[in-house]
Amino acid sequence: MSVQERKQRERAERERLIVATARELAEQQGWDAVTTRRLAERIEYSQPVLYSHFRGKREIIGAVALEGAAEMAVAVRAATSAANSPRERVTALARAYLDFAARNPAVYDALFQLDGGLAYAQEDTPEPLKDAFAALLESLGEVAGDGVHPGLFTEVFWASLHGLATLTRAGRLLPEDAAQRVELLVDRLAMV
């Protein structure tokens, strides 16, 4: 291994450590607790080392969002792959999405609430974000209905899931009705 390859590997490892530490701190204490000073202390590197990887907190949030998007795509695909019918796939998708949001609140915020400097729904949208949407579209596109654009239907269904995730997390919805909400969403919006 050349010196340059070793340095690139070490740089990638530091970057992963920064992102993992930011994510851990955000999950434990919220994104307000994630500062470059605190991250530098936790990973035992100087702040200039952090700035050599990320220009600031916004880019760190973006990196966490990209990592989270990839994880969410994997979770949705894993949940839907075992389903035998469109209804089962859409139900599994909804449950996997809501479960991901509940288990990873800081990551979910990085993806959908905070400014990570990422382009959404544009030509230059990063691949992990496109793939997360594609994971939803794979199951939802088949139930969009006649004359309904599959991507548009996926956006509306996704918006509904996002609303449920956000309102549930904020304590605005009764937790005991969660399963009924998913069934209603599948029955009435996806009509499967």
* Residues 42/66, Cβ–Cβ less than 8 Å: no
The pLDDT of residue 72 is above 90: yes
pLDDT at 117 over 90: yes
Q: Stretch 135-150: mean pLDDT, rounded?
A: 95
pTM of the model: 0.93
Q: Which amino acid is at 38?
A: R
Please check the confidence at residue 190 and state whether its pLDDT lies above 90: no
Q: In 10 A of CB 113, how many CB atoms? A: 15
What is the pLDDT at residue 191?
A: 82
Distance of CA 174 to the CA centre of its chain: 24
Predicted local confidence at residue 62, as pLDDT: 98
DSSP 133-161: HHHHHHHHGGGS-TTS-HHHHHHHHHHHH
Q: What is the DSSP letter of 123?
A: T
Q: What is the pLDDT of residue 3?
A: 87
Distance CA 65, CA 117 (A): 10
Q: Pick from 152, 149, 160, 167: which is nearest to 185 by CA?
A: 160
**pLDDT of amino acid 1:** 75
Q: How much of the chain exceeds pLDDT 90, in percent? A: 92
Residue 115 φ/ψ region, left for φ over 0, alpha for ψ in the -120 to 50 degree band, beta for the rest = beta
Residues 79, 100 contacting (CB under 8 angstroms): no
